[in-house]
Amino acid sequence: MEQYETLLAAVAAPAGDGREVFDPATGDLIAAAPADTTAALDDAVARAVAAQPAWAARSDEERRQALHRMADAVERSADALAELLSREQGKPLNGPNARFEVGACATWLRVTADTPLPTEVVVDDGTDYAELHYRPIGVVGVITPWNWPMLIAIWQIAPSLRMGNTVVAKPSEYTTLSGLALLAVLNQELPEGVLNPVAGAGDLGAALVVKPELGKIMFTGSTATGKRIIEASAGNVTRLTLELGGNDAGIVLPDADPVAIAENLFWGAFINTGQTCAALKRLYVHDSVYDAVCLALVEVAKAMPMGVGLDEQNVLGPLQNRMQFGVVDRLVEAAKASGARVLLGGEPDRDQPGNFYPTTLIADIDPQNPLVVEEQFGPALPIVRYSDVEEAIALANAADVGLGASVWSGDRDAARAIAARVQAGTVWINSHGGVHPMIPFGGVKQSGYGLEFGTEGLKSVSAPQVVNG
């Protein structure tokens, strides 16, 4: 089993080099993160190109077994990975946080390894015969975010490797150490050049996406950055999977039981302290149950401890960086200035060393308030009152993004009828944000395009080929 100190030493920059990384909960120095040059990026791409033919030549069964060995490696180092993730990203060890994320990495590797992708016979009528196969693309560039830096990396790396591609992976500059640590553990079970880490800021990512050697780019992050990737990669006609910004809506119908749904509502909004692309970010509640839902949410939220991630009792942590703290603070202050009612929180200690923003619930807020129409990406939930479900659907669909949404009701058929009218890649019923390695996931509108997970995820990192005859 890898120890925390050993793992950190393996990925940190030498003393005096790199960029200092501080714990977002305490302000303490963790280590220095390496920063690669464009020459190092060139070398990583060249290694990936050189290694790809031999990796693709392995049988599907051999690559599947490699993914299982990678899962074993993650499990062997789970404690060290979770500790580093908690220190650098800020998320607590417990709850749906650091230990959960590391465990999910192993699960996703195993399920991706075992997902079937048989050859499809598309025509066999006695005269014509054609099969649809899925071949490797070549080299896949992976650029991952800071909110779920290990799990989202696995979402992109595991199917890419399974399908015979090699990978160049760049973790976020905000969670470089966590990303590199995961890649180091995975590389214990892979041949040289199959999985190639690079570390740096946005300029390195920009240099990666224009590489003509890349056949595919997978990116999770903001819509603004996604648009730049589309433009930069267009000259190479590079395939893209983009999971971009979201501002997920939830609609609570009048027959919902406020107490029964309160905890699921809370975790839908506040998992990872609200720093999740497909978190519940604006909640529309029917007037007949509005006050009861607000009261039930406050009771759940008050019971959820927030603090330093390494303290075992905490389930909510700090915002990962001061920039995001500023975004949440600005939006909550705008809501307060408009006369919206603060049910809980809303008064951060701006002088503390950590980036803690208190769990905040805002009621009686105008549906056009900035806290509602902008993505806050933090622990502040606006709760909007409505009286006509048509109004709630229109408000939910007014955003230019559509990653996820949810409908809350005691009548599943009624909820599904509403869900069919909501413009989002996934609509959950009586829950929000849960993902499954066999259920396809992706957004609509400016939340990006392309599907991940399951069979569709394997297809997305493959080049389809028809064999006709």
- Whether residue 206 is contained in a domain is answered as yes
- Same domain membership, residue 266 and residue 222: no
Which 3 state secondary structure label does DSSP give 22?
strand
Task: Please say if the pLDDT value at position 1 is more than 60.
Answer: no
Task: Identify whether residues 412 and 463 lie together within a single domain.
Answer: no
Query: What average pLDDT does this structure show over 228-253?
Result: 97
- Which residue range is the domain that position 419 belongs to? 248-429
Residue 434 domain-assigned (yes or no): no
pLDDT at 306 over 70: yes
Q: How far is CA 211 from CA 215, 234, 430, in A?
A: 9, 11, 43
Same-domain check for residues 192 and 301: no
Supply angle C-alpha 446, 262, 378, rounded to 5.
40
Q: Provide the token pair at 247.
A: 């501002």
Judge residue 213's burial from the number of C-beta atoms within 10 Å of its C-beta, 0-12 exposed, 13-18 middle, 19 or more buried.
middle
Do 172 and 154 fall within a single domain? yes
What pLDDT, in 10s, does the model give residues 247-294?
A: 999 999 999 999 999 999 999 999 999 999 999 999 999 999 999 999
Tally of CB atoms within 10 A around 351: 5
> CB neighbours of 296 closer than 8 A, spacing ≥ 6?
258, 259, 261, 262
CATH code, domain carrying 453: 3.40.605.10
Q: Could you tell me if 298 and 269 lie in one domain?
A: yes
Verify that 240 and 362 share a domain, yes or no: no
Query: Which residues have a Cβ under 8 Å from the Cβ of 48 and sit 6 or more positions away?
Result: 139, 166, 167, 168, 193, 194, 196, 213
Integer CA distances (angstroms), 325 to 53, 172, 279, in order:
45, 17, 17
Report, in this order, helix, strand and coil percent for the chain, each rounded to 5: 40, 20, 35
Q: Which residues of 296-326 are buried (b: 16+ CB within 10 A; e: fewer)?
A: bbbebbeebebbbbbeeebbbbbbbbeebbe
**Phi-psi label, residue 232: left if phi above 0, alpha if psi -120 to 50, beta otherwise:** alpha
Long-range Cβ pairs for the range 386-389 (8 Å, 24+): 386/284, 386/285, 386/286, 386/287, 387/286, 387/287, 389/251, 389/253, 389/286, 389/418
- Give the tens place of pLDDT for each residue, 39-95: 999 999 999 999 999 999 999 999 999 999 999 999 999 999 999 999 999 999 999
pTM, entire model: 0.96
- The number of beta carbons lying within 10 Å of the beta carbon of residue 201 is 14
What is 270-305 written as a DSSP string? HGGGG--TTSEEEEEEEGGGHHHHHHHHHHHHHTS-
- Output b/e per residue, 167-197; b: 16+ Cβ within 10 A: bbbbbbbbbbbbbbbbbbbbbebbeebbbbb
282 lies in the same domain as 410: yes
Same domain, 182 and 87: yes
Q: How far apart are CA 279 and CA 283, in angstroms?
A: 11
Q: Given pLDDT bands bounded at 50, 70 and 90, which one contains residue 394?
A: very high
Q: Please state, in angstroms and rounded to a whole number, the distance separating the CA atoms of residues 248 and 281.
A: 5
Percentage of residues in the chain with pLDDT exceeding 70?
Answer: 100
Under a CB-based contact definition with an 8 Å cutoff, are residues 277 and 442 in contact? no
Contact predicate 119/106, CB 8 Å: no
| Domain-located, residue 169 | yes
Catalytic residue numbers?
243, 277
Structural domains counted in the chain:
2
| 256: Cβ contacts below 8 Å, ≥ 6 apart | 286, 289, 293, 408, 409, 410
Considering the domain architecture, whether residues 166 and 43 belong to the same structural domain is answered as: yes
**For residue 73, which amino acid is it?**
A
363 in any annotated domain: yes
Confidence of residue 331 (pLDDT cuts 50, 70, 90): very high
Quick one: average pLDDT of 176-187? 98
Average pLDDT, the chain: 97
pLDDT level of residue 15 (50, 70, 90 thresholds): confident
CA 257 to chain centre: 30
CATH number at residue 337: 3.40.309.10
Residue 16 banded pLDDT, cuts 50, 70, 90: confident
**What is the chain's alpha carbon radius of gyration, rounded to the nearest angstrom?**
23
291 lies in a domain?
Answer: yes
Phi, psi of 239 (to 5 degrees): -65, 145
Q: What is the DSSP string of 125-173?
A: SSS-EEEEEEEE-SEEEEE--SSSTTHHHHHHHHHHHHTT-EEEEE--T
In this structure, are 194 and 283 located in the same domain? no
How far is residue 85 from each of residues 19, 91, 322, measured CA to CA in Å?
17, 7, 18
Within a domain: 310: yes
Residue 442: inside a domain, yes or no? no
- Residue 95 half-sphere exposure toward CB, CA atoms < 13 A: 23
Token pair for residue 13?
């920059």
* Same structural domain, 120 and 259: no
Torsional class of 257: left (φ above 0), alpha (ψ -120 to 50), beta (otherwise): beta
Indicate whether 215 and 290 sit together in one domain: no
Residue length of the chain: 469
User: Phi and psi at residue 189, in whole multiples of 5°?
Assistant: -115, 15
CA distance 374 to 372: 6
Q: What is the pLDDT of residue 58?
A: 98
Asked whether residue 58 is domain-assigned, the answer is yes
